[in-house]
Amino acid sequence: MPTVATFPKYIPISQAAAKLGIMPAKLHDMAALGKIKAIRLPNGGLAVDEKLTETPLRKEDLEEYKQFAHLANETTWVSKAARDYDVSHQTISRWTDYGFIKIEGMRGNKKLLNVQDIAYCAFIYQEFQKEGDTQGRRIFDDNGMPYKPKTGPFAE
**Per-residue model confidence as pLDDT tens digits over 16-56:** 888 887 788 888 888 888 878 889 989 988 999 888 888 77
pLDDT digits (tens, 9 = 90+) for 41-100: 899 889 998 888 887 777 888 889 999 999 999 999 999 999 999 999 999 999 999 999
Query: One fold for both 10-55 and 61-131?
Result: yes
- With respect to CATH, is domain 10-55 assigned 3.20.20.70? no
- What single DSSP character describes residue 43? T
Phi, psi of 142 (to 5 degrees): -65, -20
Nearest alpha-carbon partner for 116 in 146, 154, 75, 145: 75
Comparing CA positions, the residue from 104, 97, 156 lying closest to residue 121 is 97
Q: In what order do the strands lie in the sheet with 38-40?
A: 10-12, 46-49, 38-40
* Coil, strand or helix at 80: helix
Fold classification of 61-131 is Multidrug-efflux Transporter Regulator; Chain: A; Domain 2 (1.10.1660)
pLDDT at 142: 78
CA distance 103 to 40: 38
Domain boundaries, the chain: 10-55, 61-131
By the 8 A CB rule, do 17 and 27 touch?
A: yes
